[in-house]
């Protein structure tokens, strides 16, 4: 099938370029309205079928013992693991607790490791997220912050979008505007293909509420520098 201008309403010669330039057109992951009308088991069966065809087109011998189970393994991995964050049913539930300690300073959780995938080439993005928030009278279990990060990482992503999505989800869950998020990551679409730069990383940030204040951000940066 040839790409045409109706594929994305973008001229053909620009389709690959946009992907390489990592343009994100929205803070929402682009999903069809009927994205979850099909159950996971059927998705796995169909992905396995189509991935088997991809392997066949590439010339791989699917009768080989090592390759026979690969289409199903890839399909289950896509639906149940690396892209499980696409399904809103997997969004972590968050329970807030009273801030009985009357802790009024910022809380920082840093170096939350994540694995995501670039939506332009479906290769890994590997990095760490640093989060800070100031309680408005409620607190949350620390593991919930990690789970929110992982939920948005487990989908085809653009780093800028993921940064905003995490910040917005934390504001909603914590019921406060005082949230900061920094993401530092290595993109294998840059390291393993194209320009093949294996040393560069990409850093994005989203500052809300009190963290729009330069002094508050400086305090956050000081926490991140601690060893």
**End-to-end Cα, the chain, rounded Å:** 54
User: Model pTM greater than 0.85?
Assistant: yes
Pair 141, 101 in one domain: yes
Confidence at residue 1, expressed as pLDDT on a 0 to 100 scale? 43
Mapped onto helix, strand or coil, the DSSP state of residue 72 is helix
Candidate list 121, 160, 177, 219, residue with the active-site label: 121
Based on its alpha-carbon atoms, the radius of gyration of the chain, rounded to whole angstroms, reads 20
Distance CA(198)–CA(93), nearest Å, equals 37
Distance CA(109)–CA(183), nearest Å, equals 12
Show the low-confidence residues of the chain (pLDDT under 70).
1-25, 226-227
Number of domains in the chain: 2
Q: Is 119 a catalytic residue?
A: yes
Q: Is 118 a catalytic residue?
A: yes
Candidate list 119, 157, 206, 210, residue with the active-site label: 119
Is there a domain that residue 163 lies in? Answer: yes
The Cβ of residue 110 has, within 10 Å, a number of other Cβ atoms equal to 15
Q: Is 208 a catalytic residue?
A: no
Candidate list 130, 189, 208, 210, residue with the active-site label: 189
Confidence at residue 138, expressed as pLDDT on a 0 to 100 scale? 85
Q: What is the CATH number of the domain that holds 108?
A: 3.30.1130.10
Domain around 194: 96-225
Torsion of CA 143, 145, 147, 148, to 10 degrees: 170
Pair 212, 101 in one domain: yes
Is there a domain that residue 16 lies in? Answer: no
Candidate list 130, 150, 157, 187, residue with the active-site label: 187
Pair 173, 148 in one domain: yes
Pair 66, 134 in one domain: no
Is there a domain that residue 6 lies in? Answer: no
Candidate list 159, 165, 206, 210, residue with the active-site label: 159
Confidence at residue 5, expressed as pLDDT on a 0 to 100 scale? 45
Q: Is 28 a catalytic residue?
A: no
Work out the angle between the directed axes of helices 70-77 and 40-57 (0-180°, nearest 10). 130
Confidence at residue 117, expressed as pLDDT on a 0 to 100 scale? 97
Pair 202, 147 in one domain: yes
Pair 74, 113 in one domain: no
Pair 76, 180 in one domain: no
Is there a domain that residue 9 lies in? Answer: no
Confidence at residue 14, expressed as pLDDT on a 0 to 100 scale? 59
Q: What is the CATH number of the domain that holds 72?
A: 1.10.286.10
Candidate list 120, 150, 165, 210, residue with the active-site label: 120
Is there a domain that residue 26 lies in? Answer: no
CA angle 76, 30, 129 (to 5 degrees): 75
Do 75 and 45 meet the contact criterion of CB atoms below 8 Å apart?
A: yes
């Amino acid at each position: 099938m040839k790409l045409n201008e109706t594929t994305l309403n973008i001229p053909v010669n620009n389709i690959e370029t946009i992907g390489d330039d990592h343009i994100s057109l929205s803070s929402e992951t682009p999903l069809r309205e009927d994205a979850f009308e099909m159950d996971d088991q059927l998705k796995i069966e169909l992905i396995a079928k189509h991935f088997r065809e991809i392997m066949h087109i590439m010339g791989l011998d699917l009768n080989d013992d090592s390759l026979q189970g690969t289409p199903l393994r890839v399909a289950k991995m896509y639906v149940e693991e690396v892209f499980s964050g696409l399904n809103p049913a997997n969004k972590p539930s968050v329970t807030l607790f009273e801030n009985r300690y009357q802790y009024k300073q910022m809380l920082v959780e840093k170096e939350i490791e994540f694995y995501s995938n670039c939506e332009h080439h479906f290769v890994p993005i590997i990095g760490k997220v640093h989060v800070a928030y100031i309680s408005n009278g409620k607190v949350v279990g620390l593991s919930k912050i990690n789970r929110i990060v992982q939920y948005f990482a487990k989908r085809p992503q653009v780093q800028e979008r993921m940064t905003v999505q995490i910040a917005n989800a934390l504001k909603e869950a914590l019921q406060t505007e005082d949230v900061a998020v920094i993401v530092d990551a290595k993109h294998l679409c840059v390291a393993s293909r194209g320009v093949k730069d294996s040393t560069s990383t990409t850093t994005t940030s989203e500052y809300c509420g009190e963290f729009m204040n330069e002094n508050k951000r400086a305090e956050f940066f000081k926490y991140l520098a601690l060893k």
